[in-house]
């Protein structure tokens, strides 16, 4: 079994998968955290690997940037490969002044300016939320590892460079914690298919203080969120 975007055969992908946006972060996780990782995908250089972590089988694969990209990959992983637990591990821009670089955020819900939910023809606006089981476990793991986390609402945005110069402030005023570009689609796909999804983010830059990390730091040093996510297998 293959899809237009994933070349894995049936059984090569675990039921639990970590989904960083950056395929090089997927490679980093596989090489530094998984035992005996085997690469199952390189189509479009979207690297995917399966190995074990503390004896449990787990996969990791890049998803690219934005709602359309993670929408495709998460759909195929769920419907063609039987993945049951999808955990996004990504970077985000902080919307609140109390959030510092490298802080970990768990996305309880995802607001959005995307029209992704329109496909379901719902008679209203869908609130995309994380799976309680994964959310609860992630918070417990963070407590056990003494990793401080912020749990709350995040924004999935379709625009990185927005013409609406006041837009970010409006989301800040609603106490949205941070902005990223994928989680709403992931949560919708998971909910519609009856599987579990969760987003764990690391603050890579602040829209309040204007501080930011480097591309290399985003690829290799956001390890706290990885440690939490890997325990959810």
Residue recorded with tokens 């949560």? 187
The residues annotated with a catalytic role in the active site are 205
Q: Taking the CB of residue 73, how many other CB atoms lie within 10 A of it?
A: 27
pTM: 0.97
DSSP, collapsed to helix, strand or coil, labels residue 21 as coil
CATH number of 16-230: 3.40.50.1580
Delimit the domains of the chain by residue range: 16-230
What single-letter DSSP state applies at residue 209? T
Q: What is the pLDDT along the chain (233 residues), one digit of tens a residue?
A: 799 999 999 999 999 999 999 999 999 999 999 999 999 999 999 999 999 999 999 999 999 999 999 999 999 999 999 999 999 999 999 999 999 999 999 999 999 999 999 999 999 999 999 999 999 999 999 999 999 999 999 999 999 999 999 999 999 999 999 999 999 999 999 999 999 999 999 999 999 999 999 998 998 889 999 999 999 99
pLDDT at 219: 84
Which tokens belong to 101?
A: 């670089």
Q: What CA–CA distance (Å, rounded) separates 179 from 112?
A: 9
Sign of the C-alpha dihedral computed for residues 23, 171, 135 and 117 taken in this order: negative
**End-to-end Cα distance, the chain:** 24
């Amino acid at each position: 079994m293959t899809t237009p975007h994933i070349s894995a055969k049936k059984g090569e992908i675990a039921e639990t998968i970590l989904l960083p946006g950056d395929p090089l972060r997927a490679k980093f996780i596989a090489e530094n955290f998984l035992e005996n990782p085997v690469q199952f995908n390189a189509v479009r250089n979207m690297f995917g690997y399966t190995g074990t972590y503390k004896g449990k089988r787990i996969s990791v694969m890049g998803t690219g940037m934005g709602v359309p990209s993670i929408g495709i990959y998460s759909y195929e992983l769920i419907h063609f490969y039987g993945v049951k637990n999808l955990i996004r591990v990504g970077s985000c821009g902080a919307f609140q002044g109390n959030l510092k670089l490298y802080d970990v955020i768990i996305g309880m819900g995802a607001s959005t300016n995307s029209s992704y939910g329109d496909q379901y023809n719902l008679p209203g606006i869908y609130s995309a939320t994380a799976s309680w089981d994964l959310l609860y476990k992630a918070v417990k793991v963070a407590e056990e590892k003494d990793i401080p986390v912020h749990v709350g609402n995040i924004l999935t945005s379709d625009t990185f460079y927005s013409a609406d110069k006041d837009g970010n402030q409006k989301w800040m005023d609603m106490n949205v914690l941070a902005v990223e570009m994928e989680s709403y689609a992931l949560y919708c796909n998971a909910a519609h298919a009856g599987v579990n999804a969760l987003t764990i983010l690391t603050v890579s830059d602040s829209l309040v203080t204007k501080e930011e990390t480097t591309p290399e730091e985003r690829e290799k040093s956001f390890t706290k969120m990885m440690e939490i996510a890997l325990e959810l297998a």
